Structure 1
Amino acid sequence: MRTSLRDAVAMSAAVLAPFLMGLALVPLRTSLSHTNLALLLVVVVVAVSALGNRFAGALAALSAVAWFDFFHTEPYQSFHIQDRADAETAVLLLFVGLAVSQLSARARVLRRAAVSDAQHLERLHAVSRLVRSGRCSADELVERIREDLIEVLDLRGCRFVRGSGPVDGPPPRLEPDGSLRVEGWIWDLDRQGWPDGETELWAVAHGRCHGVFVMTPVPGVAPASPEARLVAVDLAGLAALALSGQKDLAQP
């Protein structure tokens, strides 16, 4: 599994940020209640969770509890709590920090999904406009869709072969519903990932296959979302329409 630079920075911040906040609040520990000090540390947990992933958020919550104990409970500069109320505050800080970190990470995932869906929709609209306008040849449109498929499905490569598949034997094939068909196997694409080798995506229009996009996934990379796979199927359908001479997708 590849770790992004952003997630790596978030993991570092999960350890350092609560420490720095706890240290900065030391002059205020006699004037602020322990509850307020804990809430300020929760703010740091939220910030780390928004920057990174749920693991960074959980680590930040644990770090916040540790430095709250070290800097703001007696005996100071010790990972030991004498007062029962302080112990309860530390436990609540842990639970609140964990809960908030998971919610923040989930919000980040949903935000990414919304942005990705908007980008996929724009791709479909752009290709649809090209098909309607007739400003480019079928070959040019197929090349544009081939490049789009590489980005939408995060592929290592993709080539287009005219004619009705299969190209060589019965390789895995992406179905119109976004599932993967593998001869002789029940294949769960979301859990098992892409199979080894090439995968076909047929360009079908009016019940006829006009060509095959032969896709090469990147080994070890998680498959694209079901929504992205459906976009890929629609893009292949637009290629088939162009190849069949159908310029108008629908009449207004």
Structure 2
Amino acid sequence: MVERSGGTPWFVRWRSLVRIGAVLGPLLTCGLLAVFRDTVAAAVVVLVLVLWVVAAAATGDRAAGVLAALSGGAGFDFFLTEPYHRFTISASEDIETTVLLVVIGLAVSEIALWGHRRQADAERRSGYLDGVLGAARAVAEGDLPTAGLTDVVARQIADVLGADECRFVEGAVHDARVALLDQDGVLTRSGRSVDVGRVGLPTDEYVAVPVHRGERVVGHFLLTATTRHRYPTQEQLRVAVLLADQVAAALPAS
């Protein structure tokens, strides 16, 4: 459960603080450097301000990176270009420097965000692999009873797909209203495929992830995602199928 203070989620408060810092940090830095404006080169100022942009963008919040870039440009104009303490620039060189600062800041922000996303993707894939290997290990070692194993895998599937709830049910799916996730990671509902990347998981009905033993369905994981729309990738859907299949070997033969 997300921690709350006064009804505000912690991540909302954190994001607000990051954005406030992204605005104030460059402005205060420019104000401090204004004391040494006669001895500090413009290139040094630009490099210092770009560091603020990198720091803001490294949080993964694009808005914070953009705000830091714009704040740096405004602070440079106000504190470090003539006429001072006015948002007016008289020298063409200062105009070029200010524009370059903003452009570089925005570009660096996008690069930092790209790196942040790639790192997040790598960590997510590592988490998926750990989940599948953990389920396979539990099946091979036989340390968990069947009910315990299905509970563990159900939590992993819910985590991978962002579902609100997931539970194991023995046997095949007999309700035609339930959407089915096939072995290829394709979701079908009433016999028609669903573009999960565009419309998300169904919020008004269950989604079933069948567990196959050969050609026979021996059970299924039933999940719901009703609180908000979830848009799992094809990779996430296939991982959910792979997780479900780990349970087949642990189920009693019938």
Tell me, what secondary structure is at the counterpart of 1:25? helix
Distance in 2, Cα, partners of 1:210 & 1:55: 48
Tell me the residue number matched to 1:25: 33
CA 1:184–1:177 in 2, change beyond 3 Å: closer, same or farther?
Answer: closer
* Closer/same/farther in 2, CA of residues 179 and 54 from structure 1, 3 Å limit: farther
Give the corresponding residue for 1:158.
166
Q: Residue 148 of structure 2 aligns to which amino acid in structure 1? A: E
Q: Give the CA deviation at 1:221.
A: 4.0
Quote the Cα distance in structure 2 between the aligned partners of 1:16 and 1:161. Answer: 54
Matching residue of 1:109:
117
Do the aligned partners of residues 218 and 16 (structure 1) sit closer, same or farther apart at CA in structure 2, a change above 3 Å counting?
farther
Aligned letter for 1:228?
Q
The question of 1:129 aligning with 2:131 is answered no
What per-residue deviation string (whole Å, max 9, x for no partner) do you get for residues 216-242 of structure 1? 114324323332222211111011222
Partner residue in 1 for 2:82: 74
Aligned partners of 2:178 and 2:207 also within 8 Å? yes
2:198 maps to 191
Task: Tell me how far apart the structure 1 counterparts of residues 192 and 12 of structure 2 sit (CA, whole Å).
Answer: 34
SS in 2 for 1:213: strand
Give the deviation of 1:5 after TM superposition. Answer: 4.4
Aligned to 1:178: 185
The question of whether the paired residues in 1 share the 8 Å contact of 2:57 and 2:113 is answered with: yes
Contact 2:210 2:217 (C-alpha < 8 Å) held by counterparts: yes
Instruction: Determine if the alignment matches structure 1 residue 9 to structure 2 residue 9.
Output: no
Letter in 2 for 1:140: G
Name the amino acid aligned to 1:173. Answer: L
**Is the alpha carbon distance of 1:206 and 1:5 closer, same or farther for their aligned partners in structure 2, counting shifts above 3 Å?**
farther
Q: Distance in 2 between matches of 1:184 and 1:79?
A: 63
Contiguous gaps of at least 5 residues in structure 2: 1-8
Give the structure-2-normalised TM-score. 0.88
Give the secondary-structure state (helix, strand or coil) at the position aligned to 2:227. Answer: coil
- SS class of match (1:223): coil
The answer for unaligned runs of 5 or more in structure 1 is: 246-252
Q: How far did residue 35 of structure 1 move?
A: 2.2
Q: Distance in 2 between matches of 1:5 and 1:230?
A: 35
- Cα distance in 2 between the residues matched to 1:218 and 1:101: 35
> Aligned equivalents of 1:110 and 1:15: distance in 2?
26
How many angstroms does 1:184 deviate by? 5.8
Of 88, 98, 101 in structure 1, the residue corresponding to residue 96 of structure 2 is: 88
Deviations 1:77-106 (A, max 9, x none): 111111000000011111110000001011
- Matched length: 243
Amino acid at match of 1:176: Q
CA distance in 2, matches of 1:15, 1:239: 51
Counterpart contact for 1:6–1:51, Cα < 8 Å: no
Question: In the alignment, which of 58, 65, 68 is matched to residue 57 of structure 1?
Answer: 65
Q: Distance in 2 between matches of 1:5 and 1:178?
A: 37
* CA distance in 1 between partners of 2:233 and 2:57 (Å): 23
**For residues 49 and 73 of structure 1, what CA distance do their matches in structure 2 show?**
26
Which amino acid is 1:235 matched to?
L
3-state DSSP of counterpart to 1:31: coil
For 2:147, the equivalent position in structure 1 comes to 139
Q: Deviations over 1:157-190 (max 9, x none)?
A: 1122111113x22322223232321226552211
